[in-house]
């Protein structure tokens, strides 16, 4: 974020968000080929989303249908990863969420859409290399998924497949439509946070993670508001560095502590919200959005996410050995009760 602010990027928080997603998704520093592939993926996905947005900007219905197809592809790729991080899917979802809004607001931002995303990706990759050089990954994390990476524990074959993917598209597309029709700087943290949550959410966690989501987004928006207030009264660069560091460390600790429990996905969503909202305050582009409006917007979006997720993404029925063992135990208890009641017909159903 400091780097993006110093070179006067319109959305300095975007570099920080991409760096966070890379750190969560890759348990070791990316090799040069991986880094080049990552930048190429971001450029390609941004180019596709930009082409779709530019081609159908005056035909809203076709634009939403095309964006829905891109969202479906991204969520389907993420589902096929079966709980493992999938950076190509994440970057496709990021681009699909951000590029249409960037295209609408390109004149305000004063920057090219693809240039903004590719530049942020390059800086994020360099920052990740620097962090791994200073703080090498522990050996147990260097051979697998990071300990704090939010991931689901249900195989893809047991999630309802295409139905769950369509449900996620049905959740994110109305929010995308709203921010395309009503352009605002708050679209960036809102849509990135929504996509991040739907990508990392655990389908088995149920309503627990939805309540934590409300808390996490509120914590992220309030922390960003507090950091913005300090940025206004303090020396710009030291205040920016200190508040970005403290906020990121706080959410990183939450991510590592929650691990694969429901709070892991919510902590990552809260971090995205904090970085993007705080980045709006640090941006050289004047975004005329009052602090209370930022908190209220994120709160309303959180309520929308909770309601639509509870309605369209109910927890799947448990399957597998544990569930079969539970059913066997229930059957054994029912037969024992039937024998005790002296009713042999109930004990041996035909």
Task: List, as one string, the DSSP characters of 108-131.
Answer: HHTS-HHHHHHHHHHHHHHHHHHH
Whether residue 183 has pLDDT greater than 80: no
With beta carbons less than 8 A apart as the criterion, state whether 165 and 75 touch.
yes
Q: What whole-number distance in Å separates Cα of residue 345 and Cα of residue 339?
A: 9
pLDDT the model gives residue 84:
66
Residues 197-235 pLDDT 10s: 888 766 655 566 667 777 777 888 888 888 888 877 766
Residues 245-294 pLDDT 10s: 888 888 888 878 866 555 666 777 888 888 888 888 887 777 776 777 77
In a domain, 335, yes or no: no
The token pair that represents 289 in the structure block: 């959005």
pLDDT the model gives residue 224:
84
Mean pLDDT of the chain: 76
Q: What whole-number distance in Å separates Cα of residue 213 and Cα of residue 197?
A: 8
pLDDT the model gives residue 319:
53
Residue 84 structural domain:
2-319
Choice among 24-28, 95-99, 265-269, 313-317 with the minimum mean pLDDT: 313-317
In a domain, 221, yes or no: yes
In a domain, 345, yes or no: no
Q: What whole-number distance in Å separates Cα of residue 214 and Cα of residue 106?
A: 31
Q: Which pTM does this prediction carry? A: 0.74
* Mean pLDDT of the region 82-108: 77
Long-range contacts of 306-312 (CB under 8 A, 24+ apart): 306/210, 306/211, 306/213, 306/214, 308/170, 308/171, 309/171, 309/198, 309/201, 309/210, 310/207, 310/210, 312/167, 312/170, 312/171
Segment of 24-33, 78-87, 154-163, 177-186 carrying the highest mean pLDDT: 177-186
Provide the number of structural domains found in the chain. Answer: 1
pLDDT the model gives residue 324:
47
In a domain, 338, yes or no: no
pLDDT the model gives residue 38:
81
pLDDT the model gives residue 184:
78
* Mean pLDDT of the region 113-138: 82
Q: What whole-number distance in Å separates Cα of residue 84 and Cα of residue 151?
A: 6
* Mean pLDDT of the region 20-33: 79
In a domain, 275, yes or no: yes
Q: What whole-number distance in Å separates Cα of residue 22 and Cα of residue 15?
A: 11
Cα–Cα separations (whole angstroms), residue 347 to 167, 324, 326, 327, 334:
42, 20, 18, 16, 8
Choice among 51-60, 117-126, 162-171, 200-209 with the minimum mean pLDDT: 200-209
In a domain, 264, yes or no: yes
| 3-state class (DSSP) for residue 289 | coil
In a domain, 136, yes or no: yes
pLDDT the model gives residue 209:
62
* Mean pLDDT of the region 20-43: 81
Q: What whole-number distance in Å separates Cα of residue 206 and Cα of residue 267?
A: 16
In a domain, 73, yes or no: yes
Does 88 or 338 have the greater pLDDT score? 88
Whether residue 345 has pLDDT greater than 90: no
Whether residue 28 has pLDDT greater than 60: yes
With beta carbons less than 8 A apart as the criterion, state whether 22 and 132 touch.
no
Choice among 5-19, 95-109, 295-309, 330-344 with the minimum mean pLDDT: 330-344
pLDDT the model gives residue 171:
93
Q: What whole-number distance in Å separates Cα of residue 323 and Cα of residue 329?
A: 10
Does 255 or 61 have the greater pLDDT score? 61
């Amino acid at each position: 974020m400091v780097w993006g602010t110093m070179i006067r990027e319109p959305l300095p928080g975007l570099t920080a968000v991409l760096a966070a997603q890379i750190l969560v998704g890759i348990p070791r520093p990316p090799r040069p080929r991986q880094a080049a592939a990552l930048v190429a993926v971001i450029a390609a996905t941004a180019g596709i989303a930009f082409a779709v947005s530019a081609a159908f900007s005056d035909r809203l219905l076709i634009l939403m249908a095309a964006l829905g197809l891109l969202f479906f592809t991204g969520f389907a790729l993420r589902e096929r990863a079966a709980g493992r991080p999938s950076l190509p899917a994440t970057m496709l979802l990021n681009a699909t969420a951000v590029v249409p809004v960037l295209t609408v607001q390109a004149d305000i931002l004063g920057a090219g859409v693809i240039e903004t995303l590719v530049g942020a990706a390059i800086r994020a990759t360099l920052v990740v290399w620097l962090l791994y050089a200073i703080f090498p990954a522990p050996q147990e994390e260097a051979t697998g998924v990071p300990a704090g990476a939010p991931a689901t524990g249900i195989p893809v074959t047991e999630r309802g497949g295409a139905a769950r993917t369509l449900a996620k598209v049905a959740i994110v597309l109305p929010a995308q439509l709203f921010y395309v029709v009503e352009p605002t700087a708050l679209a960036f943290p809102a849509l990135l946070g929504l996509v991040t949550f739907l990508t990392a959410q655990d389908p088995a966690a149920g309503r627990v993670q939805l309540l934590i989501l409300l808390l996490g987004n509120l914590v992220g928006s309030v922390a960003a508001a507090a950091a913005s207030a300090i940025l206004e009264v303090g020396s710009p660069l030291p205040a920016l560095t200190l508040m970005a560091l403290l906020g990121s460390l706080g959410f990183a600790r939450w991510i590592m502590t929650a691990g694969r429990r429901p709070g892991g996905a919510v902590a990552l969503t809260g971090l995205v919200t904090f970085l993007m909202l705080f980045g709006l305050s640090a941006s050289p582009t004047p975004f005329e959005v009052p602090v209370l409006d930022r908190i209220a917007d994120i709160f309303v979006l959180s309520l929308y996410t909770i309601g639509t997720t509870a309605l369209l993404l109910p927890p799947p029925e448990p399957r597998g050995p544990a569930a079969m063992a539970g059913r066997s135990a229930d059957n054994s208890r029912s037969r024992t009760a039937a024998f005790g009641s002296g009713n042999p017909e109930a004990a041996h159903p035909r």
